[in-house]
Amino acid sequence: MKQPTFFLSHGGGPWPFMDGDYRRAHAPLEASLQALPASLPARPKAILMISAHWEEAAFTVMTSPAPGMLYDYGGFPAHTYEVVYPAPGDPALAERVVALIEAAGLPAARDAQRGFDHGAFCTLVPMYPQADMPVVQLSLRQGLDPAEHLALGRALAPLRDEGVLILGSGFSFHNLGLMFSGRGQAPSVAFDAWLQSALPSPEGRAQRLQAWAQAPAARQAHAREEHLLPLMVAAGAADAGAGSCNYHQTDYLGGLTASSFRFG
């Protein structure tokens, strides 16, 4: 059955492996991720994960049958640098992804050494805690061109009919300077309101996303847009599918507004 696509706000660092107030701050996000598999039309055959935490000169696909871990965060408890999410890779899916990207005239490459970064494993742990779902990670492309990432999504759209769940993992608000200074509340509200209005209707959605930097508080919400680009891939793969918000929190880490979205 045809799978939807998702843009997921993935939270801060290795939060699923922590306890206390920091973990509790992620409770609404955790609940939304735990509920996601049951909302699907069928169990996926595999997941294609586009994470904000991987950029390459070409769209690069993880090809390992048993990916390792990449602890791409700092300042967290020691045990969070030893956690493991042992989901299998899917080399056949990786080759299919390369073929689709190249057929669309976009540059593609392979990486047999790359491990799961926290944009990937911190969304997957609540969704599939048994780590029994095959996962392939796909990078962003350096330059962070919105149109190019929308085109990537369109190229990947056939995977939806093949039972592959396409997940874009980023964050609807990602300005750490404003976040940690307590000045992020207003821009996060303003930009989130634009997302809520821009994403539901497929009519003109691609044009709105290409011009995202003109949205209210856009460059305050995303001083650098790597955490927004996975949205372009998910929306591009959705084609004419309607969008809906499947996670919305107005008190994330002291008052930020954050959201995730489903397409199709």
pLDDT in tens, 194-241: 999 999 999 999 999 999 999 999 999 999 999 999 999 999 999 899
Looking up tokens 């294609």 gives 48
Residues of the chain with pLDDT under 50: none
CB-based contact 6:36 (threshold 8 Å): yes
What does the pLDDT read at residue 254? 79
Multiple choice CATH, 5-263, 3.40.50.300, 3.40.830.10, 1.10.357.20, 3.40.50.2300: 3.40.830.10
Bridge partners of 137, per DSSP, are 49
Amino acid in position 39: S
Residue-wise pLDDT tens digits, 187-198: 999 999 999 999
- Helix, strand, coil percentages (3-state) for the chain, rounded to 5, are 40, 20, 35
Contacts of 227 (CB under 8 A, 6+ apart): 52, 170, 171, 174
What does the pLDDT read at residue 24? 94
CB-based contact 253:25 (threshold 8 Å): yes
pTM score: 0.97
CB-based contact 37:127 (threshold 8 Å): yes
